[in-house]
A and B are shown apart, each in its own frame.
Chain A
Amino acid sequence: MEFVNAFSVSLQAVWNDSGFSAFTMGNGIMIAVGLILLYLAFVKEFEPLLLGPIAFGCILANFPNTGFLEEMGLMKAINFGIQYEIFPPLIFLGIGAMTDFGPLLARPSTLLLGAAAQIGVFIALVGAMLLGFTVQQAGAIGIIGGADGPTAIYLSVQMAPELLGAIAVAAYSYMSLVPLIQPPVMQLLTSQKEREVQMEQLRPVTKFERCMFPIVSVILISLLLPPIASLLGMLMLGNLFRESGVTDRLSDTAQNSLCNIVTIFLATGTGMTMTAESFLVPQTLMIIGLGLVAFIFGTAGGVLFGKIMCRATGWKVNPLIGSAGVSAVPMAARVSQVVGMRAKPGNYLLMHAMGPNVAGVIGTAVAAGTMLAMLK
């Protein structure tokens, strides 16, 4: 009899400690969401490097009684990396080491296209505020339009941590859908003649310019917008590693090993924020809708400013490169190239589009810094 009692009590204790006892419908739905995202990442190859760990983190976050974020351990350490904004600047270090600022330095006027494409950020902000989000939440939602995952996470953590999961998923999902979202907008806003504009060869950029740009720009922007000094600082440090020519090992580490390790932690940690309580709310659908609005208007803003530059320069700028102003390096630049080639075979726009593309990264960081200064 005693054995049966002990067995029954033990069994009950195991059941009470198990995840099944506290499993809710919400957990089930979120695990299904995680599985769908895994499918999109690994089968459909939508940003698999990021969406894959995010999806897996989402599944892990919805197992009850794991105590992931209560006791010190790997998951909590990863969460610290997000909570204290450690991972996004480290990702920017890798992005800087991978980015060639040459096209931007050769044609600085393309910075204007990177600025114009930020209109999507602020239209989404207006839309979010009209839908009842607080000004801080609206700012964090708007930055989805910047098509820059680390910046979106960086801003969300500071302004609306409760929306981090939804914002990160929307940002990365739409970034992977850039080749589907942008071309119709680009076709709609440009004429065949504009799409056929052939651009002149870019001038060669010297090593002096390549090395001076990250140094001078980080001094200028960090003094102006200290809230984004860590993001911009790491971006430019990574770029200096690349361009100096004497720190190849550091550049290699920043753009490969370190960037990959931090990507795993950042994406898994972001997925871990997608608990049923925070994700299964009507706001999530609104955020996903507003993210799409932000992308469409960002693309439109870049293309329309490209049309202005086309006229102002006497048809020397192809307006299609304006769409690359929405960051998403280098996918958005590739979309400009594909649409340009479709209009006129042999019209290579890729290098020209890389200028607004990297300008978009800086523009999004500046927009984030401005919002942090104004709204936080």
Chain B
Amino acid sequence: MSQPVTTNPFIIMMINMTIVFAVLIALGLVINLIHYVDPTRPDRQKQEAPAEPAPAPAPVAPEPVAEAVPENGLTPEVVAVIAAALASYGYGPGAIHAIRPVERNGWKASGRMPGASQNL
């Protein structure tokens, strides 16, 4: 153990309290600095955001949907509703390649029926 700097208790108290305050004040400045440079700060993100939100793509008529024909059981109204729902999630008409009903397998359906009726 080396010789202590001083053995006067009051001087030790004063020096130590000064250092503790100085270090914690420095830490406070660091916290403020981090807050200042924070790129994810909510107010900064608001400033960087465009003034007006981009208009949502309008629901598109099922023009490019070649398969959407009544013979598959899809009426133009059903296609319009599906297209509008997808548009509300940000998908444009180009994202829709086909709308077709899920294939129904008669054997599967006949298997499901008894199970469903048992649970009713």
**Residue ranges of A at the interface with B (Cβ–Cβ < 8 Å):** 104-105, 108-109, 111-112, 114-115, 118-119, 121-123, 125-126, 129-130, 135-136, 138-139, 159, 204, 206-209, 212-213, 216-217, 220-221, 224-225, 359, 362-363, 366-367, 370-371, 374-376
Contact = CB atoms under 8 A, between A and B. Distances in A.
18 contacts: A108-B32, A112-B25, A112-B28, A115-B17, A115-B20, A115-B21, A122-B12, A125-B13, A135-B9, A136-B4, A138-B9, A139-B12, A206-B42, A212-B38, A213-B30, A213-B31, A217-B30, A371-B12
A159 to B, nearest CB: 8
Nearest to A139: B12
A376 B1 contact: yes
B4 to A, nearest CB: 4
B15 interface: yes
Contact of B13 (A105, A126, A204, A366): A126
Given A370-B19, A375-B12, A208 B1 contact: no
A115 B9 CA distance: 19
Contacts, number: 112
**Size bracket of the B interface:** 20 to 34
A105 B16 contact: no
A359 B7 CA distance: 28
Interface string B12-45: 1101110111011111101110110011111000
B113 interface: no
Contact of A119 (B17, B28, B38, B39): B17
B27 A375 contact: no
B66 interface: no
Contact of B35 (A114, A209, A359): A209
B28 A109 contact: yes
A376 B25 CA distance: 25
A233 to B, nearest CB: 15
Contact of B27 (A125, A206, A220): A220
B5 interface: yes
A310 to B, nearest CB: 18
B39 A208 contact: yes
A135 B16 contact: no
A303 B70 CA distance: 79
B30 A220 contact: yes
B33 to A, nearest CB: 8
Interface of B: 1-2, 4-7, 9-10, 12-13, 15-17, 19-21, 23-28, 30-32, 34-35, 38-42
A279 B100 CA distance: 85
A135 B12 contact: yes
B34 A216 contact: yes
A366 B23 contact: yes
A138 B30 CA distance: 32
A2 B98 CA distance: 106
B19 A366 contact: yes
Nearest to A375: B4
Contacts of B13: 122-123, 125-126
Which of A112, A115, A217 neighbours the largest number of chain B CB atoms within 10 Å of its CB? A115
A119 B1 CA distance: 25
A115 B16 contact: no
A219 to B, nearest CB: 9
A118 B25 contact: no
B23 A130 contact: no
Contact of A374 (B16, B26, B30, B38): B16
Contacts of A224: 23
A145 B23 CA distance: 19
A105 B38 CA distance: 12
A130 B31 CA distance: 39
B96 to A, nearest CB: 36
Q: Closest 9 interchain pairs by CB?
A: A122-B13, A108-B28, A126-B9, A108-B31, A129-B9, A111-B24, A115-B24, A375-B4, A208-B40
Contacts of B30: 213, 216-217, 220
B21 A209 contact: no
Nearest to A159: B1
Contacts of A370: 15-16, 19-20
B20 A374 contact: no
A204 B42 contact: yes
B68 to A, nearest CB: 44
Contacts of B10: 126
B20 to A, nearest CB: 5
